[in-house]
Amino acid sequence: MSDRNKIAQLLYWIGITVIIVGIILAFTVAGPGLGNGEEGPWRIFIIMFLSAIVSGMILIGLGELIERQSEMNRLLRQGFQLAVPQNDPAITDPKIEIKNDQVDWNIEVEDVDKILQLFDKRKVREIIATPSSYTFVVVADDKEQLVKKVRSNNSEEILLLTFSSYPNLQEWYRNYKKEVVIEV
């Protein structure tokens, strides 16, 4: 218990104290009339008893929340120190070119992340947005792959497509490559 947060420990013990003192006070205040069969002292006892239990449990719960948050912060700090490789240039500087100059919709960071996860970040060289909404051409290992972001049941996923199934996009990409060659 020595590695626990001091505030969490303090709230825990205050909560326990509130419960014990509240129960003792409930018996003390309502005690003389409890054996008479009158309703008044029982009402006072129940109100004080429940108030002490609820107040103490709220303090204990608040202390537990603080302890969990402290534990989460500790784990996150440790996780970030372990998870970020410092000497991997492919992860820190992937040199991926993202092109969306010919479309009227934006490539979102989440889209790029999902594409990189699908293709293995080290192989992707370019991500090109096509005129078809949320459809991309991904150039990885000098091969072109058509992908599309699809929403289904409150989740988004990236699907691999074939150019042969989308002749209009295949023609667009041929023209796009010609334009890029001419510009250079």
pTM of the predicted model as reported, rounded to 2 decimal places: 0.44
pLDDT at position 139 is: 82
Token pair listed for 46: 């129940």
Q: What is the DSSP string of 110-160?
A: HHHHHHHHHH-TTTEEEEEE-SSTTEEEEEETTEEEEEEEEEETTEEEEEE
Helix axes 6-34, 39-83, angle to 10 degrees: 170
pLDDT at position 73 is: 80
pLDDT at position 53 is: 96
Nearest to 68 by CA among 106, 12, 138: 12
pLDDT at position 86 is: 44
Nearest to 16 by CA among 48, 63, 71, 69: 63
pLDDT at position 17 is: 97
98 and 179 assigned to the same domain: yes
pLDDT at position 25 is: 92
69 and 134 assigned to the same domain: no
74 and 93 assigned to the same domain: no
pLDDT at position 87 is: 42
75 and 156 assigned to the same domain: no
pLDDT at position 13 is: 94
95 and 77 assigned to the same domain: no
Per-residue pLDDT of the chain (184 residues; tens, 9 = 90+): 446 788 999 999 999 999 999 999 988 888 777 767 677 778 888 899 999 999 999 999 999 999 888 888 877 776 555 444 444 433 433 455 566 566 666 667 777 777 777 877 557 777 888 887 788 888 887 788 888 888 777 777 888 888 888 888 888 888 877 776 555 4
Enclosing domain of residue 28:
6-83
Q: Which residue shows structure tokens 């018996």?
A: 27
170 and 150 assigned to the same domain: yes
Q: Report CA-CA distances (Å) from 178 to 4, 42, 165, 181, 182.
A: 64, 90, 21, 5, 6
Domain assignment present for 159: yes
* DSSP β-bridge partners for residue 159: 148
Domain assignment present for 74: yes
pLDDT at position 97 is: 59
pLDDT at position 181 is: 58
116 and 154 assigned to the same domain: yes
pLDDT at position 52 is: 95
* DSSP β-bridge partners for residue 97: 126
Q: Is 122 left (phi over 0), alpha (psi -120 to 50) or beta?
A: alpha
170 and 99 assigned to the same domain: yes
54 and 122 assigned to the same domain: no
Domain assignment present for 1: no
